[in-house]
Amino acid sequence: MAQPLEKVDRRDAKLALAHLFVAFAALALGGFAGLLQTLVRSGKFELPAGISYYTILTTHGVLLGLVLTTFFIIGFQFAAVSRTTGALSDGSRRLGWIGFWMMTSGTACTAFFILTGQASVLYTFYAPLQAHAGFYIGLALVVVGSWVSGFAMFAHYARWRKTHRGQVSPLLAFMSVTNMVLWLVCSLGVAATVVFQLIPWSLGLTDRVNVLLSRTLFWYFGHPLVYFWLLPAYMVWYAVIPKVIGGKMFSDSLARLAFILFLLFSIPVGFHHQLLEPGISPFWKYVQVVLTFMVIIPSLMTAFAMFATFESYGRSQGATGLFGWLRKLPWSDARFFAPFVGMLFFIPAGTGGIINASHQLNQVVHNTIWVTGHFHLTVATTVVLTFFGASYWLIPHLTGRVMTKAMNRLAIIQTIVWAVGMTFMSGSMHFAGLLGAPRRSAFSTYGNSPQALEWIPYQIAQAVGGTILFIGIILILVIVINLAFFAPKGETEFPVAEAAAPYERAALALENWKLWIGLVVALILIAYTVPIVDIIQNAPPGSKGYKLW
Ligand code: HEM
Ligand SMILES: [Cu+2]
């Protein structure tokens, strides 16, 4: 007899779906802004009606970098937790909805001030650029709302552990909790600068702001932020993809260890974004760069585990030779194909990251559009394609529908369109950056100076890529709307892989949260205490706010 499918509770499904809808709405608006940016930067197009380039760029960065990611991740994790550890309690679900509405109203508030041109400070809102206080207040609501949702997940996980003493928790629940711990610890930094520095300053309660302190607190958050984006993609790779291809997970304990290493080494490293910032001693920059490079270990562990899963599956299907197993993979299944293409893009993306974090090479690429090229490979391709791939089973699972063959084919096309568009756009950003083209600049030709004219061919290629990508955005929206509202009714599986070997005892030790959180705090104190005391004690007079747009 067929086993009933293990499903996300219907009430939890609604909560998860609400998050996904906001995420895809952000993708629609933010994607359009992205298209406009590439057109402006080609030097062949100007924004109508006096709209500022920086308004558009702030919209794009906030909606895609902050809103799309956070909403998708929290929605996905609520579904993953409910699927693997059972329906949320009424209390946890209520917390989830409170978190959702706080984040949504915060987003609306922030978006209002951006779109009315009162907050063109870009998504990093670097002081001394000063936005309307409503921009920061909205952001604070988004962050605090995400904490409320995090507490809902923690409470649910704690309840599961109480009723399952001595058992190893399901992998997806463990990973979701790890990611929310990472998020909670790092977003304390951005909350501190927003609440204690930027809000009083933008309200006029204080006149001046300590610029270096606020940037340091921002990057204390900003680097782990990228791991907060990446870890849910890794959840899909480790715990879902092996099931999608019909194989088994290479090792459950290895996956858990990798997540713990990401938790340890993604926070005490923010200075690698401030390598060219005066006021931080080279010694502390060096310490944080060394810690940065530690993250290569869990990254290579992940790459190894994924390819081990693929190869063992292929060989179990009778593949021979060095690469024969490649032919056994389900290339025509979009649930596999989209995340797999994401993985491939992570190879150049990660390599670029090592370049950025190296002090000497950083001087070549710092603040050039190379950096923008880099994170369109990491977040806008690896992460986003994995999220798209997850949506192809998650949305129909939650709405009680099935993906048709036609939609699957469209999803394969979507993936190819995205890969081609991004190769053009991100590739030319990398090259133009090496030639010195700045990022975040409304100017393209700089009055036809010879140096700027060298960049124009790349910026035209960038616009070609951006246009192809925008087609990709339309395709994914068509698929998502179909899966949510129009696809045939039916049951879709939420795939969760089994480990190749039964649980190892090591997995239990990896749930020693006191130990891991203690280590996280210790590493943060080592990396940040002395420089932050120095930044506060030896601060120059603070800066007044500037509105340069
Ligand atoms: C249609 C697809 C997209 C296009 C055409 C596009 C285009 C661009 C361009 C041209 C810039 C740089 C502008 C400048 O520095 O002057 C940019 C910045 C950025 N993009 Fe995208 N992008 C797309 C999708 C995405 C996605 C999916 C994400 C995130 C998930 C993303 C995140 C960002 C961020 C965070 C910035 C930085 C904004 C800043 O520097 O303040 N983009 N994008
Ligand atoms: Cu970083």
Q: Does the pLDDT at position 483 exceed 90?
A: yes
Closest Cα to atom 3 of ligand 1: 34
What is the CA(222)–ligand 2 centre distance, in A?
7
Helix (H, G, I), strand (E, B) or coil at 248: coil
Q: Does the pLDDT at position 5 exceed 60?
A: no
Cβ-based neighbours of 488, under 8 Å, separated by 6 or more: 401, 402, 404
Q: Does the pLDDT at position 3 exceed 70?
A: no
To test the pocket of ligand 1, the residue of 60, 225, 422 to mutate (highest count of ligand atoms within 8 Å of its CB) is: 60
Q: What is the pLDDT of residues 300-340, one digit of tens each?
A: 999 999 999 999 999 999 988 889 999 999 999 999 999 99
Q: What is the position in ligand 1's atom list of the atom closest to the CA of 58?
A: 41
Cβ–Cβ contacts within 10 Å for residue 250, how many? 23
Q: Does the pLDDT at position 360 exceed 70?
A: yes
What CA–CA distance (Å, rounded) separates 219 from 273? 7
Q: What is the pLDDT of residues 465-477, one digit of tens each?
A: 999 999 999 999 9
Contact 543, 127 (CB under 8 A): yes
Q: Does the pLDDT at position 1 exceed 70?
A: no
Long-range contacts of 521-528 (CB under 8 A, 24+ apart): 523/264, 523/265, 523/267, 523/268, 523/291, 524/185, 524/267, 524/268, 526/268, 526/287, 527/268, 527/269, 527/271, 527/284, 527/287, 527/288, 527/291, 528/220, 528/268
Mean pLDDT computed over every residue of the chain: 94
Closest Cα to atom 38 of ligand 1: 61
Q: Does the pLDDT at position 505 exceed 90?
A: no
Residue recorded with tokens 């590493």: 523
To test the pocket of ligand 1, the residue of 67, 273, 372, 439 to mutate (highest count of ligand atoms within 8 Å of its CB) is: 372
| Structure tokens belonging to residue 152 | 């809902």
What is the CA(544)–ligand 1 centre distance, in A?
29
Q: What is the pLDDT of residue 503?
A: 66
- Just list the catalytic residues: 223, 227, 374-376, 439-440
What is the CA(351)–ligand 2 centre distance, in A?
13
Closest Cα to atom 43 of ligand 1: 34
Q: What is the pLDDT of residues 411-445, one digit of tens each?
A: 999 999 999 999 999 999 999 999 999 999 988 88
Q: What is the pLDDT of residues 56-66, one digit of tens each?
A: 999 999 999 99
